[in-house]
Structure 1
């Protein structure tokens, strides 16, 4: 009877292997599966020939030998290709064994004491079946948990930590606190030697390191490096494993197939491997929001290969989903807090402006009535200073009101080339003779959804800042529009493309220690500046769903980069006629 079961199992294995050989596309995989199918067929054949001895036909007993060899090669295939995790297999065997013993004990207790009473035996058997069905699922969960806790303590600690994290993250709103909570918890399990969180950078294309544990990974994963991982995510992978990428690279190098498709895939795999090594990630899980990759959660235990089992990876994926949700909630919270802050600031500004402007008007009127030209010496100069400073303070109050006042926006398909052209034409006559203004337009630029007047205000502010930064020195200010190909690839994983406007000067540049503060309200390096110009620019750009960043080196110049979401081609085609900005 047992031999018949073994023979049936081998026949089923052969049929499945033959079907797989016929359906697979990889020649290398076909060869490997074919060898396994031949081995299984040999094991079936010689196991069947063992039955000849029952009919007095002399034949050596070779079935067990071939069956053992076949099972050995099959086990090697399972281990090398990780078709089944060894820890998971051992845990399943142990838990199923314990579960079977418990259920058998229940059945025995309910049926063993029944002697020859057939009706009572049938009744108790039905009762035992119901009891087993009721206990099966909860008992299986408890037994598996007990087995993992006893025999795989580190794994149990990691699973418990991941389960607790899913709950604790719901009470976190600050992004830095979220990263600290997740990384500390994972690192303390002893199953992680490297852990890091990357988020989408606002100042340049790429992902910037938010926090890490263990050896420090690269601080910025730029566009070119991230492309391989993003392509893997776009193809449907929920987690990118270093061991799988390296195994696939090894297989392709053995194949050595010619052709562009083969070379492109090998390059993508090498790019993915390089990105994972830069981030020091054995497993990299994308943080997704609205079909966009907003960051990565990276883990690695470099002490052992194949460090994480499938159920651990499933929990890691759940943690990453919660992280992405918390990140989006954090952004919404920041927007609400900013809105409330501006509302309170606006109410205060309206009353403050009234209280300040009335005495300012009186001071200015009195100073002008004294007529500084008629007063001798320094007296006239002092009155001129009074009038000048009153005008400057009035400008500060006006800028403060503009910053605190809610933006009135009128969005529509906007041609940025036309906005740049009209704005430069408007300020051309006000440019000093020492400053040259150059415009470079990308004629392939798609439209953006924006308010042309507000974007014009941003460009005027940036150009005026560049003029003031260059002072009396001769220099050039360049305003350029473009749709960067690399940046488009970088966003393509999220299904969104961007357009870019750069305002560049060759002035003195901005010191590195000042760059993080230039968009902070009331921060200024000018003697008579309000410190609100760039803050207003940033607010306008953010309301357009874009970003504004700065790149500068002392002595070389400064570039302000505005990135705005581009409209899809179908929207652009049905937009306003070429050269007409939105109202």
Structure 2
């Protein structure tokens, strides 16, 4: 610490001649602590930790300022100011320690009241003659240092009780730094007892207060490692620049006329050399003190260059996973990609022994809403701290299950708690969202089982840069695929017109000839074959018509549509055709749905196709004997509901068709909407492709889920405009 009570004697000692190192460092310490006090008071004065640290910094400022001005002027006023500051350092230090450690023990808070009372009692004597007595100074010192060591004892007590590795490491640094700073402060008093040693109290105090300030602002452990590394860089740079000025000052000697010239030369040299020296020193310091961060930066730089040459999502995922395997501080990793059809995140890649434990799909609603507000990496350690500060973890028992693992606990209904549970389920310390054009396209999760706060803020910023680059590649690939599909359809449309003309002309001739032959009496025995020719001609003509419907440019007759009414009309049409007795159709329509803009006839065509497909699947299940339908009869449930989009503003109507049919094989689901793909003996493979095109033309989506022997579910989502 920074004063020397014992050296003052009955009159606090004679004034120091000249600006000693202790006096100059007192001024610097005063300025630094004033900055701390103002900064923490302005940033968040409602936070008790910020308030108490600001109060402690202000008292240290008063102490150092009073000491500096007293040594400079010899005024009794500044002598009293330095003692006022010093008297309130012990209670403010204890107050900050209790707030920082979140101490709940009333006994320790009672001790705080006693220290304030002691400080106030000593404050009264400042204006009395007792103030200048040597015994008063000794009493102050005997009060000052024991309280500071009590603060260190409380930190040690918390250190021995905590189970968190990150918290334990942070407390260890604080404890060691506190012991060094407090013990260094004693050196300021030894000259007064005739022991000549370097007075390093102010310097140690400045470093320690900076360390504490950063541990408040940057909660994470590895950030403190960075602070140490950066501190070494700053000291080295300051030494080099100071050396340049010092060398020129020595060269000037007693030639004051060269002072201005040398100042100009020194400034020029520093401006020219500062950046290259800084880069060289920083690179060397990173290699020595932050070797893992340095290696990560090189790995990510190499990955970024390689990603620039990647064209497909599969290549990208392979490159990212192979790169992650090279990094020793990643023991677990997983990548989820957003599936627009099913509106879920699907697991596509994983590293580590947790692949079978983590979820294969993730619901999007809470995650999307949270990421829209957060817009950055999700760090489990920070989310846990947020829950703790909000009181959600107040009842946490380290020996029991963590709070966010207990779904039924009422305080855990907050979005932060839900995201904590989600990250725990994915076994992720850091979740990097892949965001492009305000769309979350995927998630990349990382974990190092050896350390809780495994990645520093700078490392996470580097990882997010690469994640954003990956998101742009994924987004560009999707746009490219959509354009390719559009180009294929355009080419298909041109080809379809010519193909239809070439096919229909001979079909017309074949049909005319067959009809003519039917009229001849001699053709009676050939009538059966002629009927087959006519039926096949009509079927082929129907295929050509569907092909043209699919290939020609999409046009809509836009009107205001009522979805429930369209479904009722579709069901009436199907019932008029006849429904097998063993099939039951159940409707569950939400009433008072908003009207939407669309082509009612095209939407009816989609519903008709989906219902007929469901009826056929149920019938096949009943005859095959492989599904539950064969025992209980088939059921088709049609329901409508109104929903809000999880990732954007607006609502949509969901129309669900759930049947108990034979089911769809997993490897067929992704191909269902491809033209000419069919599993039916007499199908054309264009029905669902046309449905998909109509729904997309209305700005909607179709989602499919199925299980063999259990049934299928088709969900049409149409936006309400």
Whole-angstrom CA distance in 1 between matches of 2:474 and 2:595: 29
Whole-angstrom CA distance in 1 between matches of 2:457 and 2:293: 12
Residue 219 (structure 2) aligned to one of 78, 83, 107: 83
Asked if 1:152 corresponds to 2:306, the answer is: no
Contact 2:637–2:657 (Cα < 8 Å) also in 1:
yes
Deviation per CA, 1:226-276: give whole Å up to 9, x if none.
55544432333522111122233444245469xxxx955554333212211
Asked if 1:542 corresponds to 2:692, the answer is: no
Contact 1:42–1:66 (Cα < 8 Å) also in 2:
no
Whole-angstrom CA distance in 1 between matches of 2:268 and 2:145: 40
Whole-angstrom CA distance in 2 between matches of 1:511 and 1:378: 45
Deviation per CA, 1:191-237: give whole Å up to 9, x if none.
222222222223434211132333326353433xx555444323335
Structure 1's 20 and 518: CA in aligned 2 closer, same or farther, altered over 3 A? closer
Q: Counterpart in 2 of 1:210?
A: 348
For residue 526 of structure 1, give the secondary structure of its aligned residue in structure 2: coil
Q: Counterpart in 1 of 2:608?
A: 460
Q: Counterpart in 2 of 1:559?
A: 713
Contact 2:378–2:430 (Cα < 8 Å) also in 1:
yes
Aligned-residue CA RMSD (Å): 3.7
Q: Counterpart in 1 of 2:101?
A: none
Contact 1:43–1:66 (Cα < 8 Å) also in 2:
no
Whole-angstrom CA distance in 1 between matches of 2:213 and 2:519: 97
- Post-superposition shift, 1:379? 4.4
Whole-angstrom CA distance in 2 between matches of 1:213 and 1:167: 23
Structure 1's 311 and 379: CA in aligned 2 closer, same or farther, altered over 3 A? same
Asked if 1:23 corresponds to 2:161, the answer is: no
More displaced, 265-274 or 123-132? 265-274
Whole-angstrom CA distance in 2 between matches of 1:253 and 1:478: 42
Contact 1:548–1:563 (Cα < 8 Å) also in 2:
yes
- Post-superposition shift, 1:45? 8.7
Whole-angstrom CA distance in 2 between matches of 1:448 and 1:321: 36
Whole-angstrom CA distance in 2 between matches of 1:447 and 1:302: 53
- Post-superposition shift, 1:128? 1.5
Contact 1:439–1:480 (Cα < 8 Å) also in 2:
yes
Q: Counterpart in 2 of 1:570?
A: none
Residue 387 (structure 1) aligned to one of 527, 531, 534: 534
Q: Counterpart in 2 of 1:397?
A: 544
For residue 648 of structure 2, give the secondary structure of its aligned residue in structure 1: coil
Contact 1:509–1:553 (Cα < 8 Å) also in 2:
yes
Asked if 1:498 corresponds to 2:652, the answer is: yes
Contact 1:372–1:384 (Cα < 8 Å) also in 2:
no
Whole-angstrom CA distance in 2 between matches of 1:469 and 1:320: 43
- Unaligned 5+ runs, structure 2: 1-22, 65-81, 88-125, 153-173, 179-208, 397-408, 623-632
Asked if 1:222 corresponds to 2:362, the answer is: yes
More displaced, 520-529 or 46-55? 46-55
Residue 513 (structure 2) aligned to one of 357, 361, 366: 366
Contact 2:226–2:290 (Cα < 8 Å) also in 1:
no
Contact 1:196–1:297 (Cα < 8 Å) also in 2:
yes
- Unaligned 5+ runs, structure 1: 25-29, 568-583
Q: Counterpart in 2 of 1:574?
A: none
Whole-angstrom CA distance in 2 between matches of 1:209 and 1:557: 24
- More relative contact order, 1 or 2 (CA 8 Å, 6+ apart): 1
Structure 1's 6 and 451: CA in aligned 2 closer, same or farther, altered over 3 A? same
Contact 2:365–2:646 (Cα < 8 Å) also in 1:
no
Residue 497 (structure 2) aligned to one of 350, 353, 361: 350
Structure 1's 512 and 3: CA in aligned 2 closer, same or farther, altered over 3 A? closer
Q: Counterpart in 1 of 2:677?
A: 523
- Post-superposition shift, 1:76? 7.3
Asked if 1:479 corresponds to 2:641, the answer is: no
- Post-superposition shift, 1:465? 1.8
Contact 1:510–1:554 (Cα < 8 Å) also in 2:
yes
For residue 210 of structure 1, give the secondary structure of its aligned residue in structure 2: strand
Q: Counterpart in 1 of 2:379?
A: 241
- The equivalences for 1:442-453 within 5 A come to 442-453=590-601
Contact 1:520–1:535 (Cα < 8 Å) also in 2:
yes
- Post-superposition shift, 1:18? 6.1
Whole-angstrom CA distance in 1 between matches of 2:379 and 2:564: 43
- Post-superposition shift, 1:98? 2.7
Q: Counterpart in 1 of 2:239?
A: 101
Structure 1's 542 and 196: CA in aligned 2 closer, same or farther, altered over 3 A? farther
For residue 285 of structure 1, give the secondary structure of its aligned residue in structure 2: strand
Structure 1's 413 and 194: CA in aligned 2 closer, same or farther, altered over 3 A? farther
- The equivalences for 1:293-442 within 5 A come to 293-371=440-518, 379-410=526-557, 414-432=561-579, 434=581, 437-442=585-590
Asked if 1:131 corresponds to 2:265, the answer is: no
- Post-superposition shift, 1:493? 4.1
- Post-superposition shift, 1:459? 1.3
Asked if 1:163 corresponds to 2:315, the answer is: no
Whole-angstrom CA distance in 2 between matches of 1:450 and 1:109: 82
Residue 508 (structure 1) aligned to one of 662, 671, 681: 662
- Post-superposition shift, 1:308? 1.1
Whole-angstrom CA distance in 2 between matches of 1:232 and 1:461: 38
Structure 1's 37 and 131: CA in aligned 2 closer, same or farther, altered over 3 A? closer
Contact 2:588–2:638 (Cα < 8 Å) also in 1:
yes
For residue 703 of structure 2, give the secondary structure of its aligned residue in structure 1: strand
Whole-angstrom CA distance in 2 between matches of 1:76 and 1:378: 104
- Post-superposition shift, 1:500? 0.8
Contact 2:214–2:224 (Cα < 8 Å) also in 1:
no
Contact 1:187–1:195 (Cα < 8 Å) also in 2:
no
More displaced, 417-426 or 298-307? 417-426
Contact 2:392–2:412 (Cα < 8 Å) also in 1:
no
Contact 1:293–1:494 (Cα < 8 Å) also in 2:
no
Structure 1's 254 and 509: CA in aligned 2 closer, same or farther, altered over 3 A? closer
